Amino acid sequence: MTESALSSASNALMQKLTGRQLFDRIGRPTRIVAPMVDQSELAWRILSRRYGATLAYTPMLHAKLFATSKKYREDNWSSIDGSSVDRPLIVQFCANDPEYLLAAARLVEDKCDAVDLNLGCPQGIAKKGHYGSFLMEEWDLIHNLINNLHKNLKVPVTAKIRIFDDREKSLNYAKMVLDAGAQFLTVHGRVREQKGQKTGLANWETIKYLRDNLPKETVFFANGNILYPEDITRCMEHIGADAVMSAEGNLYNPGVFNVGQTKDKDKVFPRVDKIIREYFQIVKECQESKASKTAMKSHFFKILRPFLPHHTDIRSTLATMNAKATWEEWEEQIVKPVEIVVQVIFEQPDIEIKDEIIIGEKQSWGGSYRTVPYWRCQPYFRPVNGITGDKRVMQGLTDADINKKRKADMPLESADKKKDIKA
């Protein structure tokens, strides 16, 4: 590095915001759209902000590809990303090479508020590519990845981690990440092996232990077990976190972020026809974002997950759609048919009774399941010992009942449920 470059880097470091300064500057956000592979793209971030999100992360981007491939950048980043309609924003990368990570980060440092290192992805592709949670044992490498950004990037660096089974090891791991220069720390309360049907509950007690034993000035985000807006408040109060991040809960129901609006079911459990229309219009307005149109089909499947089993004709049509379909085809074959079906539902004379949200008994994890009509967005529950959460609500089962079920009873998941989007 030349003397001029060293001087520039030194000046940038001197002027760089600390975690608390950055947190204050971006408005002390408390409800965060998680970084998700191919899922937290521009259009979805805009929609999520309309429904209560106050900070968003980009999808996990591959640092080496972003730094070296123009096509990869064009497929995943547009001039609208990081613009005034897309802030505050943190860009997340996965990486295992400090220099490629720095090169990628420098391409976006003027269009985001911070750059995040993904240390949580548990998927096979992360194992094959040697990144995400598969770096958890390589503390020297992680330290170098973070510290290189901290010393040479204009904007702060942050990190998202998973926990170990051992809480003391988890605490030492978190301390190392902070010592390397991370200004925000997000803790996903699951171990690396908890994924897919083995996801299980996130361990809030370990997250709380980390929060209680890290420096008080640490900007600390919690991630895991968020089904409803009440869970965000409960999580912040129990753990003492500055904010709460949601991944899957947000994907199936953007209304999960509408804390303070819990009595307004149209905001907390929005109708699928309304969300589909609003999201579709946002994607059209963001036509420059290739990632937004590419992700649209997957988002439609998740929004419509409770709806499609009742209207298999729409499900069959949606399965045939792809990013090459015209806007008119998407509207005529998917958006309008959904709107027509829900309109008919709401013309029923007893719709006020049928449209009721029913709150179940308090569960061992501290919250309560809701029974939500299928024409409204709602959480997706991964199978636990063979029965999904929505089934246990309908059957009146508690968590204790579910634990008695045999794993052999586990039903096969439909194709649209198989993709694990947690990063």
User: What's the CA gap between 218 and 230, in Å, rounded?
Assistant: 24
The pairing of strands 358-362 and 368-371 is antiparallel
Residue for token pair 């592979």? 37
Neighbours of 274 (CB within 10 A): 16
The separation between the first and the last C-alpha atoms of the chain, rounded to the nearest angstrom, is 34
| H-state helical runs in 214-359 | 229-239, 248-252, 265-268, 272-285, 290-303, 312-320, 327-330, 336-345, 351-354
Nearest to 115 by CA among 85, 83, 148, 143: 148
357, containing H or E segment: none
Assess whether 94 carries a catalytic annotation: no
CB-based contact 114:155 (threshold 8 Å): yes
Nearest to 187 by CA among 169, 162, 212: 162
3-state secondary structure of 188: strand
Report residue 27 as tokens: 């408005």
User: What's the CA gap between 143 and 184, in Å, rounded?
Assistant: 15
User: What's the CA gap between 245 and 224, in Å, rounded?
Assistant: 7
Radius of gyration of the chain (CA): 21
Active-site residue identified among 112, 121, 235, 286: 121
Largest Cα–Cα separation, the chain: 76
Neighbours of 395 (CB within 10 A): 10
| H-state helical runs in 111-213 | 124-129, 139-152, 167-180, 204-213
Cis peptide before 88 (omega within 30 of 0): yes
Residue for token pair 């080496």? 64
The set of catalytic residues is 121
